[in-house]
Amino acid sequence: MATLFSTLPSSPIQHRKIPCNSCPIKCCHEKANHNHNSPIVDENGFPEKNLLSNPRGSKPPRPRRIILVRHGQSQGNVDECVYTRVADPKVMLTQQGISEAEECGEEIRRMIEKDGNSDWKVYFYVSPYKRSLETLRNLAKPFERSRIAGVREEPRLREQDFGNFQDQEQMKIQKAARKLYGRFFYRFPNGESAADVYDRITGFRETLRSDIDIGRFQPPGEQSPDMNLVIVSHGLTLRVFLMRWYKWTVDQFEGLHNFGNGKMLVMERGYGGRYCLLMHHTREELKKFGLTDAMLVDQEWQKYAKPGELYYDSEITGPSYFTHFNDDRESLFSG
């Protein structure tokens, strides 16, 4: 049988030296002589590739907000029988869902305009499910073309997979079993658990952080701290995103609730540069969403902390794992 190597010519290969000034490929020593005081422009048209090698002071500004939007009311939210005959990715919005998406877009615009800055823009990440795409199209109506920096369809933002065409009676049985087993770890037959969603959202989060670090949302020289990222997705997926971002525990995830169709949750850049829910939302709103007192204390820290800082006194997880400290402290001081 012929191999790859058997197709190579048997005669010696003649090499021809190409003059350096006629070669389109630049040598590494030519890059080394580049003036680092001027912007580095990639010859293939992707200047952002070189931003990570620039001095720290030239790092792109972080977007002002990451806005999480749940899709508007869908046919499946009104009648679960829809899933027996329509594939989940193809379920559409209702007329009410379309109106909810438009209202959410108007609310986002009002929120941004309150900043009082003129150079703001929005950049969208969206689940490829039809109800998410329809939400995006209607959500974007209040924004002129010049205000939209871009959009990326992101399959990792899709809804939790509940299986293929769903049997309504079987789904009732499965959801009852999920209550007994636990919402995070229960995997639907031919589908996913929330833990599976967590794994893919972890990958998306790393992509998002990389996009923020290289300033993918605007070309070099046009970057503004008034960029707003909008993630259009699904209820459980967005709860998992927040769990992964803020390192909440499984128990804390179990206590969260979906926010309404066409509603948003805002992660806004705090005074130190980290993203914090308390910059936009009240403690009461976040408690209604399901945040505990310990989670709210952590959000207070997020409000003032800088990127890269660690919260060594965090009460989010410690007390739930170690229960003997009080006894030790009492015995220490009683002796």
Q: Which helix (H) or strand (E) holds 88?
A: none
pTM for this entry = 0.80
Q: How would residue 43 be classed by pLDDT, with cut points 50, 70 and 90?
A: very low
Residue 85 falls within a domain, yes or no?
Answer: yes
Binding site for substrate: residue ranges?
70-77, 131
pLDDT tens digits for range 99-128: 999 999 999 999 999 999 999 999 999 999
Check pLDDT > 70 for residue 225. Answer: yes
Strand order in the sheet with 148-153: 148-153, 121-126, 227-233, 65-70, 264-269, 275-276
Q: How would residue 13 be classed by pLDDT, with cut points 50, 70 and 90?
A: very low
Domain of 253, CATH number, reads: 3.40.50.1240
pLDDT at residue 196, rounded to an integer: 98
The domain in which residue 169 lies consists of 65-269
Residue 108 falls within a domain, yes or no?
Answer: yes
pLDDT tens digits for range 165-196: 888 888 899 999 999 999 999 999 999 999 99
Question: Is 61:213 a contact under the CB 8 Å cutoff?
Answer: no
Residue 16 falls within a domain, yes or no?
Answer: no
Choose between 241 and 1: higher pLDDT: 241
pLDDT at residue 50, rounded to an integer: 53
The tally of domains found in the chain comes to 1
Kindly give the pairing relationship between strand 148-153 and strand 121-126: parallel
Question: Residue 205 and residue 269: Cα distance in Å, rounded?
Answer: 17
Residue 261 falls within a domain, yes or no?
Answer: yes
Question: Is 132:234 a contact under the CB 8 Å cutoff?
Answer: yes
Binding site: residue ranges?
70-77, 131
Residue 197 region by backbone torsions, left for phi larger than 0, else alpha for psi between -120 and 50, else beta = alpha
Residue 291 falls within a domain, yes or no?
Answer: no
Residue 142 falls within a domain, yes or no?
Answer: yes
Question: Is 322:328 a contact under the CB 8 Å cutoff?
Answer: no
> Helix %, strand %, coil % for the chain, to 5?
45, 10, 45
Which residues have a catalytic role annotated? 71, 159
Residue 32 falls within a domain, yes or no?
Answer: no
Residue 30 falls within a domain, yes or no?
Answer: no
